[in-house]
Structure 1
Amino acid sequence: MGRCDGRCTLVVICSLQLLAVLQRQVFDFLGYQWAPILANFLHIIAVILGVFGTVQVRSRYLILYAVWLVIWVGWNSFIICFYLEVGHLSQDRDFLMTFNTSLHRSWWMENGPGCLVTQVPDSPLAPEDHHVITVSGCLLDYQYIEVVSSALQVFLALFGFVYACYVSKVFLDEEDSFDFIGGFETYGYQPPQKSSHLQLQPLYTSVSPHITQIKLLALY
């Protein structure tokens, strides 16, 4: 047990995925990003199933985890394209991230490293109960922070997918070989066999009368 096999590596990858998605979930909650919040929640459930399937040797859970990772890679690829405004995607479409329930965007827009937020009072562009701000001096723009976060998720998902396929294949091979040799049937319960009862009959010592007579004659 001195080395880490595929199961151990997969558990480590799942643990890193949980840490990464939990910190991302916190910042998405702060930014009221409802679509990423829902996706992160489903990802947390899938990763937990992956850990359970790895520890309890359940290949079906690992297959489900691997299928979700394909969807997760696609979702994070969309996030990267959204913040980089690839094609016809635009960050002005708030409904893609917030389901059109709020005007909030990424939490890093106002709280990024080195960002200086200045409020613009009495701006005609501000909707009701909202205000307009200007952000300047950021060392790293919020969209690049979101891209890096999504790229990390894709990186971990690719490794998780490879190891999930490998470990599930090992589990399936072990199940097939175990069924081939009989499984638990070899060590199944066998009723005790009925033993044949021997009838014991007492042995009696009989003295022949002729021998007795010969002994008596010898005495005379």
Structure 2
Amino acid sequence: MSKQEFAPGLEIQDIAAPLSLRDFRLIAFDMDSTLVTTECVDEIADMVGKKREVAEITEAAMQGIITDFKESLRRRVALLKGVTVEQLQRVYTERVRLSDGARELVQACHAAGLKTLLVSGGFTFFTERVRAELELDFVRSNLLDIRDGVLTGGLQGQSWGDICDGQEKRRAVLELASLMDIEPAQAIAVGDGANDLPMMQAVGLSVAYHAKPRVRAQAKVAINSGGLDRLLEVLRP
């Protein structure tokens, strides 16, 4: 089945829409430029006058030009050395906004019985706050190394590893599906960048949200205009 316009600004391929949301059990979201409108690492960098350098690395990673996401993240985090926790909080308070329709989509998923996972190449400082705001069930993301209230320019290892890259996103989704005793086909993955492709390719329904061309081309659903809740036009509650 070739890609077709399901509605203005909404494309589908390889599915016969509309589908039922209740046929799925799990939905995984990327955070930056997906659940929230910003790239948090870029906004942190802007606080210390390094947004251009960090944003260039971010864009190259999301486009797939830089293929080693772990190395690209380490390079960006190193540029954040000296940022304070107070500055991180200012970024969250002043600059991080939920994407249009995010709350409505999450609420519809919970009402239909789906578990929600936030899996991000971003940082726990932000993902935990977004998790609380949206009442998400699970989260996996990167942990900034902070000493005496100041970023050291490094990351801390966690029980599952050191950096949540594309392969770790895929592993997290499949691991949770296994723990829930469901098939990957019963999971949905929503993202916008190249490091979201591994998890999007592993599940039953892949959703590109205002995504890079490479991601949009491979997704079964592409939301090109409007909010995240437009997925409910394809997945009826």
Q: TM class by shorter-chain length?
A: under 0.3
> Which protein has the bigger helix share?
1
**Structure-1-length-normalised TM-score:** 0.24
> Which protein has the bigger strand share?
2
**Structure-2-length-normalised TM-score:** 0.23
State the structure with more CA Rg.
Answer: 1
